[in-house]
Each structure stands twice: as structure tokens, then as C-alpha cells.
Chains A and B, each alone.
Chain A
Amino acid sequence: MKEAKQTFNLQLFLHLRQKLVLAIGVGLVTLIIVLLLGVPQLQQTFETRAKLQKETARLDKLKQKLSELDGVTYEPAFEQVAFISQTLPSKKPLLELLTSLYAVTQKSGVIVNDFSINPGLVATTAAELAQASQTQKAGYDTLELKLSVTGTFAQIQDFILLTETVTPFTTITSFALNATFGQTAEVAKDVFSAELVTNTFFFTKSISVSLEEALPKLAEDDYIVLSELSGYERITLPEQSGILGGGSEDFFQVEGFTFPSN
């Protein structure tokens, strides 16, 4: 006779295999803990570690920058800040250029016959923007001066060399020199005339720096330029040192009004 198939008795199973059931329970709890707590914790730990590395690197950069800032004031080049600012000003140096031109003329002995300067352009907004983007890229803009001078060859040569060794930074972009060999008067002998176009440069670049960005490093060429520039003649605008007149005349003649006496 065929044996009847035994039916599964849960109660009997629970009674006989308590420990297995307990093991299955512990296993399930372990799985739940691993999935719900362990894995997220591990992910967050890696994320926090990555954040710590990132923030530590930023802190190092900040420390480095602070150290550079502390040291930069002791650098000899830093003493030239005012001079470089004078050489390449951040505004259109119209008055400075005229003062320099006057000084150079006096020193070289040439006579300025004529000069014209173009201090600004009347342009549409679109043209201004196009020009602004060009100058922004180059980092500078120029102020053009056209002039004609007369003098001896040596005087004109001095004038050319001196023009390029004064502040603000000026370069002769084109010139034409012609000699006039006088035949009659002694004074008119060997008089040269020169037509020059000069460009005076001014800084137009806008600079943005982030807090942790390192200070710009000066290259060897920068130090060479600094050394060359140190020989330049510094032309400074004369400052008004006193007030002349004022407060003593009554232009309006208001009846009954008198100026208070000091």
C-alpha cells in the first residue's frame, strides 16, 4: 500500500526547529539592518570623507593665500605698486599725458608746432560694447595723440626717447622725420620736423578673484620690466597747495547782507 504524503505541520515545525526559526529571524533582522542602516551609513561616510578632503584642500588654499598675503607686503616689487599704477593708470590719463608732454618738450628742447588729441569717441551703444570687449580682451585701451615738432636731430631723438620713458606709459606708433637744410639763415640750418602719433595706454581690464584663488605670481620677465621701468621719469600732476581769493567780494550785492568776519 502506498504511503500517504505527510502534510506540513507548522506548529510541529516551530516546536521542533525553534533555533532554525530564530536563526532565520536573526538573519532577516541582519539583512534589514544592513540594507536600511549599514549601506546608507557607508554611503554617507564616503560622502563625508570626500567633503572633508575637498574642504581640507580649500583650507590649505586659504592658508597658502593668507601666507602669501602676509609675505607680499615685504616683497620689494610691492613697493612699486604706486609707480606701476602711475605708469599704467586705470583711467584715461589725459592731464597726465599733457603734463608729461610739456615736461618732455622742455627737457628735449623741441618746439611743438601742433598737436591734436582724441580723448573720447561718440559711438552707439553697440559700437561701445564691441570696443569694450576688444579692450577687455587686451586689458588696455589707448589715448592717441598726434603732434608735429621741430628741432635738431639730437633734440628730436631725445624727444622720441624721452616720450617713451615717462609716465604714463606712452609709445610712439608712427613717426616721420624730415630734414630741412637751411641755405640762408644760420639758425634755420639742420632743422628737422617730425610728425608723430603716440599712444598712451591705460588699464581697462576688470579683474575678479575668488577668495581661495592664489595671488598672481610674478615671472622673471616681470622683474626685468620692473627693473627697466625703474629708470623712467615719474611725471606727477602738480597739486594745488593753497586757495587764492574767495570770500572777500560780494558778487550778488544783497541789501543788508554782510559777510561774517573770521
Chain B
Amino acid sequence: MPRNINFVRERQQKVAQVGVLDQRILLVTIIVFAILLLLSLGVAGTRWWFGGQVRTVMTQQKAQESAIVQQQPIEESYTVFAHKLRVLRDLFGNRKNKQNSIAFFSKYFGSEVIVSQISYSSEDEVLTFVLDSKDIFVMNNVFEKLQSQELRSLYPTLQYGGLSRAQTGRYSLKLTVSLPKYVLQKPS
């Protein structure tokens, strides 16, 4: 009995299978297309929203800028004021120590000792005093005061020397003070 050979049927089945596969591929492609289209639309929308925000911010900036420009005289005077104050702050410390030292040494040794010479140079911040006393006993007191802890703690670099006696019997002694760095402190 001859076998029934039907090639058309097999071919139809194969074509149907390929058709189903193609259908799936098309569906997946359309879904991907739809997702990407939606994403693109979303991105475009986001960009539009960001653009709107930028425009709003720019408008606000312009309003703020014009308000600042209106207050320009205040800004100008305050900025100059602050810069001047900084310059004064730097200059201030350099000389406060000198004022304090002159006031201190003119009183420290008492009324019998006269400061007969003072010299000061701002370059090396050194203050030189020549103390004058009427006799050796007063000068001896000066030496005692020069050894005191109070003086040594205030002026650790204090040096003295050049003791001399004039024909009139007066004694003089030279003090050299390297001025300590002044630190600004709150007034009490």
C-alpha cells in the first residue's frame, strides 16, 4: 500500500509556525517602540518643565538683581567699610604694643627715675629707653625692679646695659625692649 505523501501540509504547518514567531517579534517590537516613544515623550516633557523652571528662576534673578542694584550705595559703603576695617585691624596691633610699653616703663620705676631718652623704630619693633637716676641708690632700686618676675613675664626679651655716670653724679642705664606681638583682646 503506497504511503500518503503530502508536502503541502508540512509546508503549511511550517509557514504557520513562522507566522506565529513573526507575530511575536512584531508584538515585542511594537511594545519596545511604544515604551521608547513614551520615554522620549517623558524626556521631552521633563526638559520642557526644566526649561520652564529655568525661565522662572531667571525672572526671579532679574527681580533680585534689580533690588540689589537699588541698594548699591549701601553695599558700596559697607564693603569699603569692611575692607578699611581689615586694614585698620592689621595696623592696629602693630602699634598698640608700643603705646602700652611706653606707658608701662614711664611709670614702672617710680618718680625718682626719669626716662631721659626714648627711641623707637617700627621696622624692627624695638623700643629703647635711657633711664636717668640722681644717685646710685635709686639706680640700685632700678636693678631690683629689673629682676622682678612681673617684668620678665611681660617683656622676656628685655635687655639692659650701658650703665654710665655723668659728671653731675647722675647715673643712666639703657634698656632695649623687643616689643611682643600684640593680640587684640575684647575690652573688659
Contacts and interface: CB of A to CB of B under 8 A. Distances in A.
Contacts of A70: 71
Interface string B157-172: 0000000000010100
A172 B114 contact: no
A54 to B, nearest CB: 9
B18 A157 contact: no
B120 A175 contact: yes
A45 B117 contact: no
A87 B25 contact: no
Interface string A8-47: 0000000011111011001101100110011001101100
A225 B22 contact: no
B55 to A, nearest CB: 10
B19 interface: yes
A146 to B, nearest CB: 14
Interface string A229-241: 1000000000000
A55 B55 CA distance: 10
A131 interface: no
B26 A218 contact: no
Interface residues of B, number: 75
A1 B168 CA distance: 151
B102 to A, nearest CB: 7
Given A33-B40, A41-B44, A139-B83, A211 B65 contact: yes
Interface in B31-50: 32-33, 36-37, 39-40, 43-44, 46-47, 50
Contacts of A73: 74
A157 B114 contact: no
Nearest to B58: A55
B32 A30 contact: yes
A45 B53 CA distance: 12
Nearest to B30: A26
Contacts of A211: 65, 68-69
Contacts of B82: 215-218, 222
A134 interface: no
A69 B116 CA distance: 54
Interface of A: 16-20, 22-23, 26-27, 29-30, 33-34, 37-38, 41-42, 44-45, 48-49, 51-52, 55-56, 58-59, 62-63, 65-66, 69-70, 72-73, 77-78, 80-81, 84-85, 87-88, 90, 138-140, 153, 157, 160-161, 164, 169, 171-179, 181, 190, 194, 201, 203, 205, 207, 209, 211, 215-222, 224-229
Given A55-B54, A224-B186, 8 more contacts: A23-B28, A27-B29, A62-B61, A164-B99, A179-B132, A181-B168, A215-B82, A222-B82
20 contacts: A19-B22, A30-B29, A30-B37, A55-B61, A59-B64, A62-B61, A69-B74, A77-B81, A78-B81, A140-B91, A160-B99, A173-B122, A174-B119, A175-B119, A177-B115, A177-B118, A203-B84, A217-B82, A222-B82, A224-B187
